[in-house]
Structure 1
Amino acid sequence: MTAAVVFIDLQSGYFEDPDLARIREPLVEEANRLAAAARERGFAIYHVITEHARDKSTWTLSMLDDDQGFNFVGTEQAAPLGELDLDDANQLSKIRDSAFFGTSLAQRLRIGGAERIAIAGVSGQNCINRTGSDAFAENFRVAYARDAIGSENPERCREALDMLSKELRQPILGTDELMDWLAQA
């Protein structure tokens, strides 16, 4: 297996935001389509979720400054979206925006032989952006699942992904194109 699809933060807590709530259904539908296509091609699937501790030990600086936690372990907020078909995905937990920071994702991808990864999920300008940048630093080839990435700020999301596409040569592709791109590994 030389490719993988990495889904980021498709959890209930993120979809409390009204802008993400509006796109939840089509985003989940496309994520499920992407996961099915990956399974059909034999690509590994990962779902990286954000979980924090109530004792503030995992909180970011902005969470500490605002004294407001989020996605606490074991809560409904931290739970993956119920209609998401990722039960067979390798699940990892993170405490920062990048799925690589403080996790075993890079090691797991390497052990699985992945050279190329597709990234999908939320939010494009934050967690997707930072995961893609760190994947580049880890020498993984990256493409973004255009139709399976959501954001509460679509303009900033487009800007962030456009920058990564241009600067790091990380294409933004539809699901069918993405499967062909992943198969090139």
Structure 2
Amino acid sequence: MADTAVLVIDMLNAYRHPDADQLTGSVAEIIDPLSDLIEDARQRDGVDVVYVNDNHGDFTGDWDDVVRGALDGARPDLVEPILPSPGCLRLTKVRHSAFYSTQLHYLLTQLGTRRVVLTGQVTEQCVLYTALDAYVRHYDVVVPRDAVAHIDAGLGEAACQMMQRNMKADIVAAADCLP
């Protein structure tokens, strides 16, 4: 059973939304550390990688549609390095938190997860709300600062401070977050 799960949140993105220009610069900065973290996690016993991605309001599509939409989007260069491997653990979500109306808590319980490493986008939105939901479910929360992307740098920093103070999250570098 895995003790740790790396959650890759909302990284499959077409970047065709009003704040995409603000977001893509930050995403470009996290791609290398995030890609390295995902690869490292895949190689370790006791660590699962779980992709949780917004379905962007498409309730007729499946996981392959989410991936294809991201690859056909405005910035496939930000998607290709972190693509899920075949057969990976994956869930779609409809709102900010990766836990909201998803099977994530059930999945993590079945895996024996006690510690979640939150990566992806957006720090001040989906990552923050996922951290709160993880905390209230008694998971240990880890946020690698260099593997989460923000729209607004100030709000991203404030979100990290809130996660650290209010949710007891460990804010660390991606290279230091796995056991």
TM-score bracket, shorter-length normalisation: 0.7 to 0.9
SS, match of residue 147 in structure 1: helix
Q: Which residue of 2 aligns with 1:101?
A: 100
Worse-superposed segment, 149-158 or 75-84: 75-84
Alpha-carbon displacement from aligned partner over 1:33-54 (angstroms, at most 9, x marks no partner): 1111212222100110101445
Q: Distance in 2 between matches of 1:32 and 1:90?
A: 16
Q: Distance in 1 between matches of 2:28 and 2:58?
A: 30
Matched, 1:82 2:80: yes
**Residues 112 and 54 of structure 1: CA distance in aligned 2, closer, same or farther (over 3 Å):** closer
Native 8 Å contact 1:4 1:46 kept in 2: yes
Native 8 Å contact 1:15 1:24 kept in 2: no
Q: Which residue of 2 aligns with 1:6?
A: 7
**Residues 54 and 169 of structure 1: CA distance in aligned 2, closer, same or farther (over 3 Å):** closer
Native 8 Å contact 1:50 1:78 kept in 2: no
Structure-2-length-normalised TM-score: 0.82
Q: Report the count of equivalent residues.
A: 164
Q: Distance in 1 between matches of 2:177 and 2:81?
A: 23
Displacement, 1:78? 5.0
SS, match of residue 165 in structure 1: helix
2:82 maps to amino acid: L
Q: Distance in 1 between matches of 2:16 and 2:152?
A: 13
**Residues 128 and 14 of structure 1: CA distance in aligned 2, closer, same or farther (over 3 Å):** farther
1:74 maps to amino acid: D
Worse-superposed segment, 13-22 or 104-113: 13-22
Alpha-carbon displacement from aligned partner over 1:48-82 (angstroms, at most 9, x marks no partner): 01014458xxxxxxxxxxxxxxxxx9365456822
Structure-1-length-normalised TM-score: 0.80
SS, match of residue 145 in structure 2: strand
Native 8 Å contact 2:131 2:167 kept in 1: no
Alpha-carbon displacement from aligned partner over 1:67-111 (angstroms, at most 9, x marks no partner): xxxxxx936545682232422531100000000000011111110
Structure 1: 5+ residue runs without aligned partners?
56-72
SS, match of residue 11 in structure 2: coil
Native 8 Å contact 2:116 2:141 kept in 1: yes
2:27 maps to amino acid: R
Taking only aligned residues, the RMSD between alpha carbons, in angstroms, comes to: 2.3
